[in-house]
Structure 1
């Protein structure tokens, strides 16, 4: 049974902070086109045999499975096989590849784990955008996500997919940009198009930016505050050189070009009003900046001439 929209109204308008909320366990992706009914949870394997087996094999290997379908289409001509996309979102050189396979045995998921394109797939040269529309998981994802997906697809034909749950129902509508695994939340149609166009240009927009998937939440927060301080928007320009955690406090050294920053963050509670006359409210864990300092570059003395 689909869950109602139990989160405060402000969660879907950008009033609730979205930073450092991208799904941590999503460095490897398997997208499976399936236009049939989506179960509320993929791990229950309540899907046709071949689809269920693909999901099972992905879960066994730490790969995040997602069901996908084209916006506005619930049925389409049956292909001779299953359309899949595989994504390697780890590190500085992520990639995305696609193919049509007859069944699970024709897709080498161990290659994906090793960072290699499976033989049955070919590399994609354009990014792909996922919009969560998983009504059986949360009705808000469908109510807000469906029109957004259709609108975005009109501007970016063949690059947009509806998808099953990506994590973070309170941030519906959710947008994921692959191959990097960039997450945005609480998106309007205009905000989604701006974020997608920025990503196609190799940039991120900090407004409603949830972070990059596969990275611990404190380091997502570190990246966010480093970008906000420097104005750096290039997708791959921020690198965490080192980090350490002491209790709830995380300290990291971040490099942005020739600049090195010491960034310290800690969890912070945000209480969102429910938007009604009742006393209900939801407390959301986010992050606050404790300190940010620019480090002096190390300078080496020039040896004296003999």
Structure 2
């Protein structure tokens, strides 16, 4: 066994969290308690024929997350939960369906376009996709179970398939805003859920909003941190990014100076050798308009 094969990727925290979020603006989140193959659209989870149709349906329109409730109780269901999230509009539509073929008939363009229930409760999706990377099983499953115990009967906490960034495990996706989080311990994750229930912006472990590219994620987080340090109350829906220009819902805006920096020793997945990477870092913030 080589030295690097014994190292868990999430135990090598050489990268900043900011700018590492999964990039997506529309999510199809489907309850599938059966086994998840390494890539949920590789044909082994849904079979070759349905997988090909799902790929064609989702390509260029939405990302797919499979979910299940933590624990054995979550493995036996009749009706399946199906959520369609439009993160930029911060909307979440809930349906109950019989099987995955229902995904082929979804309207993915219009928020609320499928006749489902529009819900305003958050979804906290903890990656437990062990076939993708062992870190998600080792660190994700205990956290999902702990959060489910801490917030019983809320329907908020789910296990989920790959969220991008198992090296930041435990990795969390927060809906309907599309934020990614990483490296949260149990108490910090519980605080995240409490904040999310109130729509309040949570900064610890925040990797950024997936509606933006890495530059926008870093810029938005830099402004959010400055405002929170200054004592402002901030909601998840308050800030929007257009590259390095950040705008507040009250009309204020900021320009964030960004610099790309090299990072050494990145272990992207368990078993892989360390490699060099590049990240964006905020180096300055200037307010450009008052509210």
TM range (shorter): 0.7 to 0.9
Q: 30, 36, 39: which one pairs with 1:38?
A: 36
Is this contact kept in 2: 1:101–1:107, CA < 8 A?
no
> Would you say how many aligned residue pairs link Structure 1 and Structure 2?
275
TM-score, normalised via structure 1 length: 0.79
Shift in Å, 1:43: 2.1
Match of 2:236 in 1: 235
Q: 251, 257, 278: which one pairs with 1:285?
A: 278
Match of 1:223 in 2: 220
Shift in Å, 1:42: 1.5
Q: 113, 116, 120: which one pairs with 2:112?
A: 116
Instruction: Call closer, same or farther: CA 1:4–1:61 in 2, change over 3 Å.
Output: farther
Q: Deviations over 1:97-131 (max 9, x none)?
A: 22222345645755222333312x21223111100
Q: Secondary structure at the match of 1:215?
A: coil
Q: Deviations over 1:38-65 (max 9, x none)?
A: 1000121212459747743543352111
Shift in Å, 1:5: 5.4
Distance, in Å, in 2 between the alignment partners of 1:224 and 1:208 is 11
1:1-306 matched pairs, under 5 angstroms = 6-7=8-9, 9-11=11-13, 16-24=15-23, 26-48=24-46, 52=51, 55-73=54-72, 76-79=75-78, 81-90=79-88, 93-103=89-99, 106-107=102-103, 110-119=106-115, 121-157=116-152, 158-231=155-228, 232=232, 233-240=234-241, 242-243=242-243, 251-252=244-245, 254-255=247-248, 257-271=250-264, 281-295=274-288, 297=290
CA RMSD of aligned residues (A): 2.8
Instruction: Call closer, same or farther: CA 1:296–1:211 in 2, change over 3 Å.
Output: closer
Distance, in Å, in 2 between the alignment partners of 1:297 and 1:77 is 54
TM-score, normalised via structure 2 length: 0.83
Shift in Å, 1:263: 1.3
Whose Rg is larger? 1
Distance, in Å, in 1 between the alignment partners of 2:15 and 2:139 is 16
